[in-house]
Amino acid sequence: MKPIIFLITGIGLLMTGCAIHTSYDYDKTVDFSQYKTFTVYQEGIDQLKLNDIDKNRIVRALTEQLKSKGLTASADGDLTVNVLASSRKVINVDNDPYWGGPWGWGYMWSGTRTVYESREGKITIHLVDAKKNVLVWEGIADGLDVGNTGNKEEQIGKALQKVFTYYPPKEKKKSYY
pLDDT digits (tens, 9 = 90+) for 20-33: 999 999 999 999 99
pLDDT digits (tens, 9 = 90+) for 41-73: 999 999 999 999 999 999 999 999 999 999 999
> Does residue 100 lie in a domain region?
no
Residue 42 belongs to a domain with what CATH number? 3.30.160.670
Q: Please calculate the CA angle 72-74-77 and round it to the nearest 5 degrees.
A: 90
- pLDDT score, position 9: 42
Domain tally for the chain?
Answer: 1
> Does residue 9 lie in a domain region?
no
Model pTM? 0.75
Strand ranges for the chain from DSSP E: 21-26, 37-40, 72-73, 79-100, 108-129, 134-145
Asked if 115 and 2 touch (Cβ cutoff 8 Å), the reply is: no
> Does residue 25 lie in a domain region?
no
Within a 10 A sphere around the Cβ of 61, how many other Cβ atoms?
22
> Does residue 42 lie in a domain region?
yes
142 lies in which domain range? 31-89+121-166
